[in-house]
């Protein structure tokens, strides 16, 4: 059997989805809710919930809508989330039409069911409604979620259907997004060509952002938005090598991003990928862009602080689940969801295997994604062995984890923000909460 290097496997697992072109990303999404996913029905939402409906904060569970959402999304159960992943939206989200508590039928018999908090909405003016309802706030992360990738094999499953990350700010009652590439294909009010083809969006909220920090982030993002035609790609360009993050312990690359936004150094240049720009901006949350002198001095200003430490390929959370400082890994998402459900042993085993299986039927990925998925198929066996070792309590799990991590640079691809929500609510390393999933009805 051909030997496969850990580095090659890690590269495949961490960066496989975003590494293909953003044009392919948008193309494969085109038509998901307009025929691209054959037979996906249009949801007829009842004006008043049926008597069996119940509510969880502003999100309402209705059996009829739940069935229609299930038929619409058709996602594997490990694309859903436990209740612990979510923010306490009852404190920040106003009641509004279209908020549904989707309970995945695949977890109906679980001790702890999983699901999605869905905002079902038409695309028109969605940025205004998200701001008015509090579903999106300055500093929130927006992640492109592709339900159609469910059941397409380990290639998309390990990333839980995530393909891109941007960051949001709210001003004058409307949401705007900042993304890298800083181009008109992406920038706007979630209405750019890219976002018009996104089938669904997860919104993730960094924990404990204060008013001053949000004001700082607003300043940084407004500067980048205004300067985008001038600085992209001449100074701030897109890095397609997701295996080469700019992160160093001194956070110098974050200072470079700030200097470009402040236009302090016309010779400053950096290439970073989508989630890396998000990480850099959130690490500037304590820095006031109205005080540019701190970035003109030698060294990195003390206000620059990581939003979270880059993640390893495989975390230690499942080796020490009761430790408040344990961390989750970039490839641990589906494992975390399945293990959280408390299913009987045979069902857990079957679901863990399902992560690594492509079901027969139509393929809802682009030709480019399919080709890469097929070429990487042999690389996922070691990860499935790790999942199995965690489930069975095998001591081999630790050695497999160490083998992965010994040759992999910690990183922050798009899925890093998502998997962080799967840590226990009281974990010291928990920095993110899920707010909800925007599902477009048109």
Give one DSSP letter per residue of 293-343, joined into a string. GGGTSSS--TT---SSPPBPSS-STTTSTT-TT----TT-HHHHHHHHT--
Between CA 315 and CA 267 the distance in angstroms is 39
The Cα-based distances of 347 to 107, 150, 323, 351, 359 in angstroms read: 10, 19, 27, 6, 17
pLDDT score, position 45: 45
Residue 49 contacts residue 86 (beta carbons within 8 Å):
no
> Which H or E run contains 345?
helix 345-354
Predicted pLDDT at 141: 98
Query: Would you state the pLDDT for residue 243?
Result: 73
- At residue 80, the pLDDT reads 98
Q: So what's the pLDDT on residue 18?
A: 54
pLDDT given for residue 261 in this prediction: 98
Cα(109)–Cα(221) distance, integer angstroms: 45
Contact between 256 and 268 under an 8 Å Cβ cutoff? The reply is yes
> Checking phi first, is residue 342 left (phi over 0); if not, alpha (psi -120 to 50) or beta?
left
Contact 363, 104 (CB under 8 A): no
User: Tokens 């890469």 belong to which residue?
Assistant: 372
pLDDT of residue 372: 62
25 upstream amide cis, omega within 30 of 0: no
Quick one: pLDDT at residue 270? 96
Handedness of CA 401, 402, 408, 413 (dihedral sign): positive
Check residue 26 and give its pLDDT: 43
Per-residue model confidence (pLDDT) at position 4: 46
Rounded to whole angstroms, the Cα distance separating 294 from 287 reads 9
Token pair of 307, please?
Answer: 């939003």
Both tokens of residue 27? Answer: 């193309």
CA distance 99 to 95: 8
Give the span between the Cα atoms of 332 and 339, in whole angstroms. Answer: 10
Q: How far apart are CA 347 and CA 83, in angstroms?
A: 20
Residues 87 and 81: their CA atoms lie apart, in Å, by 12
Predicted pLDDT at 10: 52
10-residue mean pLDDT series, the chain (442 residues): 48 50 43 36 45 65 96 97 88 82 96 97 96 96 95 89 95 98 97 96 97 98 97 94 84 97 94 96 98 95 97 93 91 97 96 91 66 69 92 92 82 94 94 97 90
Residue of 313, 269, 335, 284 whose CA lies nearest to 412? 313
Burial of 310: CB neighbours in 10 Å, binned 0-12, 13-18, 19+: middle
Residue 235 CA to its chain's centroid (Å): 26
Q: Which residues lie closer than 8 Å to 129 by C-beta, 6 or more apart?
A: 96, 121, 135
| Strand pairing report for 115-121 and 162-171 | unpaired
Angle, in degrees to the nearest 10, between helices 345-354 and 381-392: 160
Sign of the dihedral defined by the CA atoms of residues 27, 29, 33, 38, in that order: positive
- For 195, other C-beta atoms within 10 Å of its C-beta total 26
Find out whether the peptide bond into 180 is cis, omega within 30 degrees of 0. Answer: no
Task: Supply 91's token pair.
Answer: 């404190």
Q: Is 411 helix (H, G, I), strand (E, B) or coil?
A: strand
**What is the C-alpha to C-alpha distance for residues 176 and 188, in angstroms, rounded to an integer?**
6
SS3 64: helix
pLDDT of the residue at 360: 77
Q: Please give the pLDDT value at position 91.
A: 62
Contacts by 246-252, CB closer than 8 A, 24 or more apart: 246/270, 246/272, 246/276, 247/276, 247/279, 247/310, 247/410, 247/411, 247/412, 250/300, 251/283, 251/300, 251/304, 251/306, 252/300
* CB distance 427 to 324 below 8 Å: yes
């Amino acid at each position: 059997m051909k030997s496969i290097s850990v580095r090659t496997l890690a590269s495949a697992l961490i960066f496989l989805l975003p590494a293909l072109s953003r044009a392919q990303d948008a193309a494969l999404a085109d038509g998901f809710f307009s025929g691209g996913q054959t037979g996906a029905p249009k949801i007829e939402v009842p004006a008043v919930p049926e008597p069996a409906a119940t509510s969880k904060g502003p999100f309402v569970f209705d059996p009829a809508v739940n069935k229609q959402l299930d038929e619409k999304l058709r996602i594997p159960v490990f694309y859903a989330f436990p209740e612990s992943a979510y923010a306490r939206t009852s404190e920040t989200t106003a009641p509004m039409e279209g908020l549904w508590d989707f309970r995945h039928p695949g977890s109906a018999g679980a001790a702890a069911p999983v699901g999605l908090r869905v905002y079902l909405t038409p695309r028109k003016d969605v940025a205004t409604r998200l701001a008015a309802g509090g579903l999106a706030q300055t500093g929130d992360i927006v992640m492109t979620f592709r339900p159609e990738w469910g059941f397409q094999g380990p290639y998309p499953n390990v990333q839980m259907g995530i393909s891109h990350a941007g960051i949001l700010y709210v001003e004058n009652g409307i949401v705007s997004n900042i993304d890298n590439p800083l181009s008109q294909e992406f920038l706007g009010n979630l209405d750019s060509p890219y976002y018009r083809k996104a089938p669904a969006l997860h919104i993730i909220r960094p924990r404990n952002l204060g008013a001053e920090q949000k004001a700082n982030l607003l300043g940084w993002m407004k500067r980048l938005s205004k300067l985008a035609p001038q600085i992209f790609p001449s100074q701030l360009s897109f890095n397609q090598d997701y295996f080469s993050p700019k992160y160093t312990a001194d956070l110098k690359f974050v200072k470079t991003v700030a200097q470009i936004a402040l236009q302090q150094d016309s010779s400053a240049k950096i290439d970073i990928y989508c989630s890396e720009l998000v990480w850099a901006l959130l690490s500037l949350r304590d820095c006031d862009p109205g005080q540019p002198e701190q970035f003109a001095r030698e060294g990195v200003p003390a206000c620059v602080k990581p939003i979270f430490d880059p993640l390893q390929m495989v975390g230690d959370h499942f080796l020490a689940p009761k430790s408040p400082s344990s961390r989750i890994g970039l490839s641990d998402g589906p494992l975390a969801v399945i293990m959280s459900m408390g299913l009987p042993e045979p069902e857990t085993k079957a679901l863990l295997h399902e992560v690594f299986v492509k079901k027969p039927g139509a393929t809802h990925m682009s030709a480019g994604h399919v080709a890469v998925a097929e070429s990487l198929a042999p690389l996922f066996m070691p990860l499935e062995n790790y999942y199995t070792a965690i489930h069975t309590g095998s001591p081999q799990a630790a050695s497999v984890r160490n083998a992965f991590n010994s040759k992999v640079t910690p990183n922050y691809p798009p899925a890093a923000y998502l998997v962080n929500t799967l840590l226990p609510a009281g974990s010291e390393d928990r920095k993110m909460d899920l707010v909800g999933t925007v599902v477009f009805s048109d």
